[in-house]
Amino acid sequence: MTKLYNHLRIGVLCVSVAACTQLPGSPPPAAAPAVPGAPVVYPAPAASALTIDSAQSLIAVTVQRGGLLARLGHDHLVASRHVTGTVSPAQNRADFQFRLDQLTVDEAELRIAAGLEKQPSADAIDGTRNNMLTRVLDAERYPLVTVHAERGATGQPLQVAITLHGVTRTMAIPTDIRETKGVMTATGSVHLKQSDFGITPFSVMAGALAVQDQLELRFTLVAK
């Protein structure tokens, strides 16, 4: 009986780290079919457009665990500190992008700010980042996330077109926009579903340990 218990305990521990480490020899999960439309070409930004300051801008995504064995996994915090693009106040629009291979995973200070539990190990972080880029996002084929935003009447949500994984989705995002001495700052948050962009959330053990489909994205964009 003791021997059987030990085998079961080892099995559970293996599952608990599966979502945070690469599984050698395992094929990536099949992505939900997505038919990308023709790329949208937007007019060039105005000559007076502001430039997004990457050093002061941040996009942070909270990725939560799910499944029957969720308690054995970790929630994660994925972030981009390399947002580039322009904001054209005269045209009430912004166009920006960031590279998936420049995303960070589980920066300690960002995890604390998001209220997440203790810091995962360096090996767990490396495994999560590898799985995210190769098995989920297919970053080599779809390296960029691009965003086009348009502002209507004051106080109304931005109309935002996000292109991820070759799929474009348009949504209204409430955004706080402030302008001070030639500097524009936009902050807000939105919930996205990976499946809306043809992405299959990472999972193991037939979904017993998985990443939830819904993500929470928070952003601060500063343009000068």
CA 179 – CA 221 distance, rounded (Å): 12
Share of the chain above pLDDT 70, in %: 80
Range of the domain at 169: 2-22+51-223
Question: Does residue 138 form part of some domain?
Answer: yes
Question: Does residue 133 form part of some domain?
Answer: yes
Question: Does residue 36 form part of some domain?
Answer: no
CA 123 – CA 34 distance, rounded (Å): 32
Mean pLDDT (the chain) is 83
Pairing of strands 158-164, 58-66: unpaired
CA 107 – CA 53 distance, rounded (Å): 20
Question: Does residue 29 form part of some domain?
Answer: no
Question: Does residue 127 form part of some domain?
Answer: yes
CA 50 – CA 47 distance, rounded (Å): 9
Using 50, 70 and 90 to split pLDDT, how confident is the model at 36? low
* Three-state secondary-structure class, residue 47: coil
**Token pair 């300051």: residue:** 53
CATH number at residue 73: 2.40.128.110
What is the total count of domains within the chain? 1
Encoded tokens for 91: 């045209």
Question: Does residue 27 form part of some domain?
Answer: no
pLDDT digits (tens, 9 = 90+) for 49-97: 999 999 999 999 999 988 787 677 789 999 999 999 999 999 999 999 9
Residue 34 has pLDDT above 60, yes or no: no
Question: Does residue 164 form part of some domain?
Answer: yes
Residue 2 has pLDDT above 90, yes or no: no
3-state secondary structure string across 86-117 = EEEHHHCEEEEEEEHHHCEECCHHHHHHCCCC
Question: Does residue 208 form part of some domain?
Answer: yes
Report the predicted TM-score, pTM, of the whole model to 2 decimal places. Answer: 0.78
Query: Distance from CA of residue 177 to its chain's centroid?
Result: 22
